Structure 1
Amino acid sequence: MKRNIKDYTILTLKGMGMGAADVVPGVSGGTIAFIVGIYEELINSIKSVDLKTLKLLFTFKLKSFWNNINGNFLLSVILGILISVFSLAKLITFLLDDYPVLVWAFFFGLVIASTYFVSKRIQVWDWKRWLSFIIGVGIAYY
Structure 2
Amino acid sequence: MSGSQTNLRAAFMASPGPCNLREAVLLCLKGVCMGGADIIPGVSGGTIAFITGIYTQLVDAIRSVDALFVRRLLRLDFTGALAEVHLRFLACLLFGILAAVVSMAGVMNYMLNVHPVEIWSLFFGLIAASIFVVGKEINPLNAVNGVLILLGAAGCYFLVGMIPVSTPETLSFIFLCGAIAICAMILPGISGAFLLLMLGKYEYVTRTLKNPFLWDNFVILAVFAAGAVVGIVLFSRVLHYLLHRWHAATVSVLTGFMIGALRKVWPWKEVLESTVIRGKIHVLRTQNVLPDAFDGGVALALGLFVVGVLVVIVLERLSNRAN
Scaled by the length of structure 1, the TM-score of the pair is 0.89
Partner of 1:72: 88
Matched, 1:94 2:119: no
Stretch deviating more after TM superposition (55-64 or 33-42): 55-64
Matched, 1:42 2:84: no
Structure 2: distance between partners of 1:58 and 1:136? 41
SS in 2 for 1:121: coil
Corresponding letter in the other structure for 1:14: K
Aligned length: 142
Structure 1: distance between partners of 2:75 and 2:103? 37
Would you tell me which structure has more strand in proportion to its own residues?
Answer: 2
Structure 2: distance between partners of 1:104 and 1:63? 46
Shift of 1:129: 2.2
Structure 2: distance between partners of 1:52 and 1:134? 39
Corresponding letter in the other structure for 1:57: L
Would you tell me which structure has more helix in proportion to its own residues?
Answer: 1
- Superposed structure 1 runs of 4+ greater than 3 Å apart: 134-138
Shift of 1:96: 0.9
Corresponding letter in the other structure for 2:63: K
Partner of 2:194: none
Corresponding letter in the other structure for 2:93: V
Stretch deviating more after TM superposition (117-126 or 30-39): 117-126
Corresponding letter in the other structure for 1:59: R
1:84 corresponds, among 90, 100, 109, to: 100
Shift of 1:89: 1.0
Cα pair distance change 1:101/1:63, threshold 3 Å: farther
When Rg is computed on C-alpha atoms for both structures, the one with the higher figure is 2
Structure 1: distance between partners of 2:76 and 2:129? 43
- Show structure 1 runs of 5+ residues with no match: none
Structure 1: distance between partners of 2:129 and 2:150? 16
Stretch deviating more after TM superposition (37-46 or 126-135): 126-135
Matched, 1:115 2:131: yes
Stretch deviating more after TM superposition (8-17 or 66-75): 66-75
- Show structure 2 runs of 5+ residues with no match: 1-15, 158-259, 264-323
Partner of 2:30: 14
Shift of 1:134: 3.6
SS in 1 for 2:136: helix
Identity of aligned residues (%): 36
Q: Is the 8 A contact 1:32 1:110 kept in 2?
A: no
Structure 2: distance between partners of 1:106 and 1:66? 40
What value does the CA root-mean-square deviation take over the aligned residues? 1.8
1:25 corresponds, among 32, 36, 41, to: 41
Q: Is the 8 A contact 1:14 1:77 kept in 2?
A: yes
**Looking at both structures, which has the greater relative contact order when contacts are Cα pairs under 8 Å and sequence separation is at least 6?**
1
Structure 2: distance between partners of 1:61 and 1:30? 33
